[in-house]
Amino acid sequence: MSKRPALLLTMAFCTGIIAAFFIRQVFFFMLIFLIMILFCVFCFLKKLPWKTSFLAVVVLFFYGYINYAFQYTRLVSPFQEFYDIPVAMSGYVLSPCHENNGKAAFNYYVEIIKTQDSEYNINRVVRVNLYNLDSGDGLKTGKYIDIKGQLRKAQASRNPGGFNHQNYLLSSKVAAYISVGSDSITVKDQEKKLPLLNLGESIQESILNSLNKNLTYEKSALIAAMLTGYRENLTKPMEDAFSASGLIHIMAVSGANIAFLLMPVLWLFRMLGFNRWVGAAAAIPLVF
């Protein structure tokens, strides 16, 4: 059916996301699901040569649909009653925290939220914007911390074609954000073991060191932002230029990011003996 199954299945996944954006009624979703399943059964009964390929396309289409629907429903639902009220959260740091002029931003896995009256198990990720940070605060990946403040709901783009903060956070499985000073956090002695995240952080650091050794500061900062999403070395004029041109999203997720993740996974499945279609169908959900 295609000599590039990964490309075709990625398109099916993205088509599912687009369909979920425009079709939010459960009835129409179930109707589409039923039609595609019946067509798959027909293909297998008739023993059509591309039956397996079509089934993989259907699976990735519905995975994209369900993934988008989850982000706008189940992902944010635990926070609905906690927006814009004082809360105390317990959890651990889920991404690297790089201090720059006393500011930092990182993902924070919230296990528990406490209000004046009750305590709730949440198990969701929020984005933390931290100010007045001391570089010696020891906020590394896996560190348990408590945070006090007010959760905010990210807003969609106010201008056509502008940066959509809500979509950006939800695509990263982040349900809300919070902005606090360093006096609003309490660092604990406990640490969560996150070997895969620590490995990824080490690889990113190696890439940054290699770029810094072989390129000028400006080129190194720009390529690092586009390849790994690391933006701390960008100068203010560079960020302003990308923001004014509407290309700041390139620093968040680029095709290179996806390629760096997808190619090793496809290679691994090939080494394990999977055929191209099965390997591509399994790799895309892992990457996204």
Tens of pLDDT along 76-98?
888 888 888 899 999 999 888 87
Domains in the chain, please, with CATH? 5-74 (no CATH), 78-191 (2.40.50.140), 195-253 (no CATH)
For residue 62, pLDDT over 50 is answered with yes
- Summarised one tens digit per residue, pLDDT across range 241-284 is 666 655 555 555 544 455 555 666 666 666 666 666 666 666 65
Q: Model pTM?
A: 0.67
> What pLDDT is stored for residue 256 in this prediction?
47
Q: How confident is the model at residue 2 (pLDDT cuts 50, 70, 90)?
A: low
> What pLDDT is stored for residue 243 in this prediction?
63
The residue among 1 and 39 whose pLDDT is bigger is: 39
> What pLDDT is stored for residue 267 in this prediction?
65
Average pLDDT over residues 27-37: 77
- Summarised one tens digit per residue, pLDDT across range 111-140 is 999 988 888 998 899 999 988 876 556 788
What proportion of the chain, given as a percentage, has pLDDT over 70? 73
d(CA 48, CA 162) in angstroms, rounded, equals 45
- Summarised one tens digit per residue, pLDDT across range 226-240 is 766 677 777 777 766
Q: How confident is the model at residue 108 (pLDDT cuts 50, 70, 90)?
A: very high
